[in-house]
Amino acid sequence: MANPHVDVLIIGAGLSGIGAACHIKKFCKGKSIAVLERRKAIGGTWDLFRYPGIRSDSDMFTLGYSFKPWKGEKVLANGQEIREYVTEAAQEFGVTEDIHFGLKVVSAKWNTQQCQWTVEALNEETSKTETFTSQYLIGCTGYYNYDQGYAPEFPGLSKFKGTVVHPQQWPENLDYTGKKVVVIGSGATAITLVPAMSDKAGHVTMLQRSPTYIASIPSVDPLSVVLKKFLPDTVVYNLGRARNIALQRLIFKLSKERPKAIKRLLLGATRLRMGKGFDMKHFTPSYNPWDQRLCVVPDGDLFKVLKDGKADIVTDHIDTFVKEGIKLKSGQVLEADVVVTATGLDLQILGGMALEVDGQSLTPDQTLSYKGVMMSGIPNFGMVFGYTNASWTLKADLAAEFMCRVINHMDAKGANKVVPSAEGVGTTAKPLFDLEAGYMKRAADRLPKQGEAYPWNIENNYLADRPVLKKGALEDEFLKFESVAVQASAPKAAKKPARKAAAKAA
């Protein structure tokens, strides 16, 4: 089934995709769009993950969009609240009617003679393929495999008589009331699950190979609560956003420049929460702050359930699963009825779709990242990928606005093709994202490469990116704008995609 040609085709209806669509509606007046979404609802990550306590690990002042104030009081919002927020944005900007649900994008092919993309998407219910064409393509699929998370091979797993679940495939009917639960992991998912499950479970144990830095933040921003009595929501939101952006950057900068001081500060705060009798080895990582992502908990909820005895932490390595639970290298056996493998994500770029440029297959690792938005050798294309050391949406907003600027500049020049050229640019061994996280290391060979200097390197710095992506010059020696004589006319752009579907906030 062929669908009408649109100006801009966006892959993904999560936080990034809806944000990009809203930006196009706002800054590129008259451009037709379509959004392809594999799931049956808006939300992406926040629709997929349904484990107990699912919440943001970034504050909503910065995880929220630049163009839509977050009006809730929670600093860390839960999954349903984020889904509702994203769905509201889609409705307010007239994006909902442009979304095609239930379509998994399998391939995207660029043809210079036609100066357009041809995208094939599989309807997984009917097994039929639908075809879309567009002048521009923007990938907003996030960074991990939606089909499955990362689960290492655990020896003896078949011997275990209990239930094993991964947070990415949480069963709706899982009843853990009064049961012994072991959560394997120490990242953002694990530290969310432990306090959330402890109210119903008989006991929860967090089993970690190595600790993570964990900081407590207020669940509600007290200053914003006061300011809302006197100022409009938008003003309060923008003030909180500016403050938190500055704080995030300051903490990250100090972590790199004075790691010992920040380490003492973080561990000192944890020690105050846990008391003198607690063994701090469970919260003392072997690495420096922000070598891996810093985790946060609202109102110290994790520390509270540990002190109350509803949960505990064990730092050890798994030897093997046994019938009654998990045997550790130390010889200790953790009895369990339910084991949750919060062991991370399987990183995947562009949702796993195949890319082709003028008949030549291309994978992301064969490209260089241009300004952290476009990819060398791929025309009329952008990829939204957020920050690893700050809120995802800060970079997603900038990337979407940059693509809007490129599209408008193309119209002003009368150009129909734009492509970053990395000819003669040297590459570096530096990974695309400078984090020691396991899922980043496992997928380093699947990611675009970095160049030795700007605009081919990534700083992960909002304060540096903002002036460049929002106001900086678009034309340079690397970004090539062309006017291609189209040999075969593309179908006329439709005002609205033919098949429409309304999102349901799940």
DSSP 472-498: S-S--SSEEEE----SSPPPPPPSS-S
- Domain presence at residue 152: no
Work out the pLDDT band at 441, boundaries 50, 70, 90: low
Work out the pLDDT band at 502, boundaries 50, 70, 90: very low
What CATH number is attached to the domain comprising 420? Answer: 3.50.50.60
Q: What is the pLDDT of residues 307-341, one digit of tens each?
A: 999 999 999 999 999 999 999 999 999 999 999 99
pLDDT above 70: residue 398: yes
| Domain co-membership, 286 together with 320 | yes
| Domain co-membership, 317 together with 190 | yes
pLDDT at residue 430 in the model: 66
Closest CA to 380 of 112, 184, 175, 169: 112
Residue 415's identity, in one-letter code, is A
Domain boundary among 324, 341, 358: 341
Closest CA to 15 of 71, 76, 72, 90: 90
Work out the pLDDT band at 436, boundaries 50, 70, 90: low
- Determine contact, residues 12/46, Cβ cutoff 8 Å: no
Domain tally, the chain = 2
pLDDT above 70: residue 493: no
- Domain presence at residue 293: yes
- Domain presence at residue 474: yes
Helix, coil or strand: residue 104: strand
pLDDT at residue 349 in the model: 83
Q: What is the pLDDT of residues 245-301, one digit of tens each?
A: 999 999 999 999 999 999 999 999 999 999 988 999 999 999 999 888 899 999 999
The residues pairing with 19 across neighbouring beta strands, listed in sequence order, are none
- Over residues 108-118, the mean pLDDT reads 96
| Domain co-membership, 131 together with 202 | no
Work out the pLDDT band at 503, boundaries 50, 70, 90: very low
- Domain presence at residue 503: no
| Domain co-membership, 124 together with 181 | no
- Domain presence at residue 493: no
Taking all residues of the chain, what is their mean pLDDT, rounded to a whole number?
91
Distance CA 387, CA 392 (A): 5
* Residue-number span of the structural domain to which 430 is assigned: 6-147+346-482
| Domain co-membership, 174 together with 188 | yes
Q: What is the pLDDT of residues 12-40, one digit of tens each?
A: 999 999 999 999 999 999 999 999 999 99
Q: Would you state the torsion angle of the CA atoms of residues 73, 393, 135, 94, taken in this order, to the nearest 10 degrees?
A: 0
End-to-end CA distance of the chain: 28
| Domain co-membership, 326 together with 367 | no
Question: How many Cα atoms sit within 13 Å of 370 on the Cβ side?
Answer: 28
Work out the pLDDT band at 486, boundaries 50, 70, 90: confident
- Over residues 97-123, the mean pLDDT reads 96
Distance CA 395, CA 443 (A): 21
Q: What is the pLDDT of residues 162-217, one digit of tens each?
A: 999 999 999 999 999 999 999 999 999 999 999 999 999 999 999 999 999 999 99
pLDDT above 90: residue 427: no
% of residues, the chain, pLDDT over 70? 92
| Domain co-membership, 137 together with 251 | no
pLDDT at residue 438 in the model: 57
- Domain presence at residue 68: yes
| Domain co-membership, 121 together with 237 | no
pLDDT above 70: residue 435: no
Residue 14's identity, in one-letter code, is G
Distance CA 432, CA 430 (A): 7
pLDDT above 50: residue 496: no
- Domain presence at residue 465: yes
Higher pLDDT, 235 or 452: 235
pLDDT at residue 392 in the model: 93
pLDDT at residue 497 in the model: 42
| Domain co-membership, 78 together with 217 | no
| Domain co-membership, 467 together with 365 | yes
pLDDT at residue 348 in the model: 81
| Domain co-membership, 169 together with 251 | yes
pLDDT at residue 506 in the model: 40
pLDDT at residue 492 in the model: 47
pLDDT at residue 345 in the model: 81
Q: Is the dihedral of CA 58, 62, 67, 69 positive or negative?
A: positive
Q: What is the pLDDT of residues 337-369, one digit of tens each?
A: 999 999 988 888 888 899 999 999 998 888 999
Work out the pLDDT band at 227, boundaries 50, 70, 90: very high
- Domain presence at residue 496: no
Domain boundary among 309, 341, 373: 341
Work out the pLDDT band at 440, boundaries 50, 70, 90: low
| Domain co-membership, 263 together with 397 | no
Work out the pLDDT band at 1, boundaries 50, 70, 90: low
Work out the pLDDT band at 494, boundaries 50, 70, 90: very low
